[in-house]
Amino acid sequence: MLTPENNQTEIMRRQSDYKPPRSLSHWLIGRPLSTADAPHQTIGKGVGLAVFASDALSSTAYATQEILGILTVAGTAALGYVFPVSIAIVALLLIVTISYEQTIHAYPGGGGAYIVSRDNLGEAYAQVAGSALLMDYILTVAVSISSGVAQIVSAYPALDPYRVHMAVAAVFLIMLVNMRGVKESGTAFAIPTYFFVAAMFITVGIGIFRFVTGSLGTVVDPPVTHLTETLVPVTAFLILHAFANGTTALTGVEAISNGITAFKEPRSHNAGITLIWMSIILGSLFLGISYLTSQIGAVYSHDETVISQLARTVFNGRGVPYLATIGATTVILIMAANTAFADFPRLGALAAADGFLPRQLTFRGSRLVYSNGILTLAVIASIFIIINRARVDLLIPLYAIGVFLSFTLSQTGMARRWLRIGRLRDGEEINSHGTTLRYEKGWRLKMLINGFGAVCTAIVMVVFAGTKFREGAWIVLIVIPLLVSLFFTIHRHYKDLASHLTLDEFNGLPARQTRHRVIMPVSGIHQGTLEALRYAKLLSDDVTAVHISMDPEETQKVQRKWKTWGEGTRLVILDSPFRLFVEPLLQYLEEIIDKRQPNETITIVVPQFIPSKRWHNALHMRTANVLRQELLSKPGVVVTDVPYQVRNGEKE
């Protein structure tokens, strides 16, 4: 039933009672959710830790290994630096956590580095942050799943030839789960996340107990290291290189600040508590694994991960506890991709809403998630995995630069925000990009915290770029500017389109058209042609049928039938000696357009055959589709399709 909107009869509203019918997609991703269900799809702190912290927590499975991979080239003497380097990284984690805690409460609407940079540094910095984060989320999927597959290969080396296949299959499995919605994916992943946390704390706890009691020992039958025989000296550059590798442990820390809107109210409080718990768990496990790695003499190898060496040393072999630890690590590494699948679509939707990415990314699917963003992430991450053969060591150099670039921009933007707040008078408020700024007494301390965080993360970013440049970091340094350029190209397109369509200075449509000319291409004379002719004559008395003559005999048939069925309508025959159909017609139309009278509308009526079965399309030339695509690009021309259907048992 139609009801007036605010008693205005020119605007009516109707509530649709249509419900999507059951289909295969409902079985895969669940029944469609209505927009009214959105508030019920938010998550609490427990599930939030599984959704947004799995990336950061999973990095404990390979961060120590990456430090070890650098220090091993200096021999066993350098392995003593693993734990001190890890302590420095945890100190940096503390700084970043405090900084992002402030960001969460300052921007309860989410968006992280992108929104902070946009509001405080400008649009260009926002796109740099956005491109860095989007790149980071793609690499998060590629690295975490490749690392998860590496755990499986460590336990079952015979599966190594299928490394890429397993990784791509895992990507699309995570994609399907996320298509079901944030709440459902979080619930599905909560148990494995906490199982991993419990398994790792048990492994580290038992390992430390056995070390203290003197029963731990060292790795039995360590794997091949794949390193050169020439050792290098321990230098400051080597330590910085190891530190840069280990900072991959911080990837994913910003995820919670990007996804605040997924939390239940009070959002900022719940997100902030989740961030603190994530950092405590991450720091504790990372330090414990790094300390034990130094004590058991673990080595860096492509054949067996550090976690595998640690677990079989702690549990004296590859028994059930070992398999449980490896299984939990594998699952959390694969699930770490879930963090990217939760944040990439949200960030893509924000950038798309600002006009820097295709508008399709703002579309919410049947389960109230950004389906197009989820699908895009799965495809691009799979391509990265295939190109790099699911090798973590090949993907890591591409990984952390974007993370620390976004860290730096976010903290710099927050420092500038506090400076702007400090310049306000007590009680004064200003609105900036939809965010209200008001004076706060502790602004100096908060500015100092964010400013110090920005300096630290900037230093790490420069160190990482310098030490990893030759290993592939240069690719990211090229890709990010290219992405920013692409974003602004998209933005210019949308701005240009908006400037042409805006109503701000629009004076209204011209006077009603006084002349309407209709042109109807015909390839043959049949019932579909006559249906189109009937419609054309409803539009105007000035109708011209056009036939492209490529076969003299066929043209004669058309002429004979037209005299009988054309109802006296004008028929123009265009001879085409080179047997072209579209080009002669377009040339004819361009001549008419050039000579048309003022206030004259030209409509092209195109008869289009619609077969009763889809596979029948392969049996027809479908020239109507080609013609329509060509004509749509011609200014001053309206294209109208007149479909005609042929039912089963009827003649075409």
Q: What is the pLDDT of residues 477-497, one digit of tens each?
A: 888 899 999 999 999 988 888
- Phi, psi for residue 331 in degrees, rounded to 5: -65, -45
Render pLDDT for 77-89 as a digit per residue (tens, 0 to 9).
677 888 999 999 9
CATH code (residue 476): 1.20.1740.10
Distance, in Å, from the CA atom of 398 to the CA atom of 470, rounded to the nearest integer, reads: 11
**Look-up of token digits 């209709």:** 518
Lowest mean pLDDT among 8-22, 56-70, 597-611: 8-22
Clarify whether residues 424 and 309 are in a common domain: yes
State CA 278 to chain mean position distance. Answer: 23
Count of domains for the chain = 2
Distance, in Å, from the CA atom of 253 to the CA atom of 55, rounded to the nearest integer, reads: 8
- Phi, psi for residue 603 in degrees, rounded to 5: -115, 130
Clarify whether residues 453 and 563 are in a common domain: no
Distance, in Å, from the CA atom of 394 to the CA atom of 386, rounded to the nearest integer, reads: 12
Render pLDDT for 167-201 as a digit per residue (tens, 0 to 9).
999 898 888 888 776 666 667 778 888 899 999 99
**What band does 362 get if pLDDT is binned at 50, 70 and 90?**
confident
Mean pLDDT over 455-466 rounds to 85
Distance, in Å, from the CA atom of 468 to the CA atom of 425, rounded to the nearest integer, reads: 47
Is residue 208 over pLDDT 90?
yes
Contact criterion met (CB below 8 Å) for 29 and 366: yes
Q: Which residues contact 268 (CB under 8 A, 6 or more apart)?
A: 104, 105, 108, 260
What is residue 649's predicted lDDT score, i.e. its pLDDT? 45
| Cα dihedral: 62, 68, 69, 73 (round 10) | 180
Q: At what angle do helices 371-387 and 320-353 cross, to 10 degrees?
A: 120
What is residue 35's predicted lDDT score, i.e. its pLDDT? 52
Render pLDDT for 232-254 as a digit per residue (tens, 0 to 9).
777 888 888 888 888 888 887 88
Is 564 a domain residue? Answer: yes
Render pLDDT for 93-150 as a digit per residue (tens, 0 to 9).
998 898 888 888 888 877 678 888 988 898 999 999 999 889 888 988 888 888 788 8
Lowest mean pLDDT among 151-160, 328-337, 431-440: 431-440
- Domain span at residue 551 reads 515-645
Clarify whether residues 474 and 535 are in a common domain: no
Question: In the chain, what percentage of residues exceed pLDDT 70?
Answer: 85
Clarify whether residues 486 and 523 are in a common domain: no
Give the residue with greater pLDDT, 514 vs 473.
473
Clarify whether residues 462 and 529 are in a common domain: no
What is residue 534's predicted lDDT score, i.e. its pLDDT? 93
Mean pLDDT over 346-351 rounds to 88
Is 105 a domain residue? Answer: yes
Distance, in Å, from the CA atom of 286 to the CA atom of 60, rounded to the nearest integer, reads: 5
- Distances, alpha carbon 199 to alpha carbons 84, 191, 499, in Å: 25, 12, 58
CATH code (residue 522): 3.40.50.620
Render pLDDT for 590-636 as a digit per residue (tens, 0 to 9).
888 788 777 788 888 988 877 777 766 665 556 667 777 777 777 76
Clarify whether residues 410 and 532 are in a common domain: no
- Report which of 122, 124, 109 is spatially closest to residue 413, judged by C-alpha positions: 122
Its pTM stands at 0.74
The residues facing 547 across adjacent strands are: 573
Is 26 a domain residue? Answer: no
∠ CA 350-351-357, rounded to 5°: 135
Is 28 a domain residue? Answer: no
What is residue 645's predicted lDDT score, i.e. its pLDDT? 75
What is residue 34's predicted lDDT score, i.e. its pLDDT? 54
- Distances, alpha carbon 279 to alpha carbons 113, 337, 434, in Å: 18, 18, 30
Render pLDDT for 299-325 as a digit per residue (tens, 0 to 9).
888 778 889 899 999 998 888 999 999
Is 230 a domain residue? Answer: yes
Question: In the chain, what percentage of residues exceed pLDDT 90?
Answer: 21
Is 47 a domain residue? Answer: yes
Clarify whether residues 396 and 534 are in a common domain: no
Render pLDDT for 405-460 as a digit per residue (tens, 0 to 9).
888 999 999 999 989 888 888 777 777 665 778 888 888 998 998 999 899 888 88
Clarify whether residues 178 and 264 are in a common domain: yes
**Look-up of token digits 């420069």:** 462
What is residue 482's predicted lDDT score, i.e. its pLDDT? 93
Distance, in Å, from the CA atom of 542 to the CA atom of 468, rounded to the nearest integer, reads: 72
**What band does 258 get if pLDDT is binned at 50, 70 and 90?**
confident
Half-sphere exposure of 414 (CA within 13 A, CB side): 35
**What band does 19 get if pLDDT is binned at 50, 70 and 90?**
low
Is 345 a domain residue? Answer: yes
Clarify whether residues 335 and 383 are in a common domain: yes
- Report which of 341, 424, 415 is spatially closest to residue 377, judged by C-alpha positions: 341
Mean pLDDT over 253-272 rounds to 85
Q: Which of 436, 462, 495 is the last residue of a domain?
A: 495
Clarify whether residues 482 and 526 are in a common domain: no
State CA 72 to chain mean position distance. Answer: 36
What is residue 652's predicted lDDT score, i.e. its pLDDT? 42
Is 650 a domain residue? Answer: no
Token pair listed for 423:
């310049």
Distance, in Å, from the CA atom of 310 to the CA atom of 204, rounded to the nearest integer, reads: 9
- Distances, alpha carbon 291 to alpha carbons 80, 84, 218, 296, 487, in Å: 9, 9, 13, 9, 44
Contact criterion met (CB below 8 Å) for 256 and 278: yes
Q: Locate all alpha helices (DSSP H) within 388-473, ordered by sequence.
A: 392-395, 400-422, 443-467
Q: Which of 466, 495, 524 is the last residue of a domain?
A: 495
Q: Report which DSSP code applies to 40.
A: G
Clarify whether residues 87 and 185 are in a common domain: yes
∠ CA 584-588-592, rounded to 5°: 165
Clarify whether residues 365 and 322 are in a common domain: yes
Following DSSP, what letter does each residue of 460-488 receive, concatenated? Answer: HHHHHHHHSIIIIIHHHHHHHHHHHHHHH
Is residue 650 over pLDDT 50?
no
- Report which of 246, 326, 316 is spatially closest to residue 83, judged by C-alpha positions: 246
Distance, in Å, from the CA atom of 378 to the CA atom of 179, rounded to the nearest integer, reads: 11
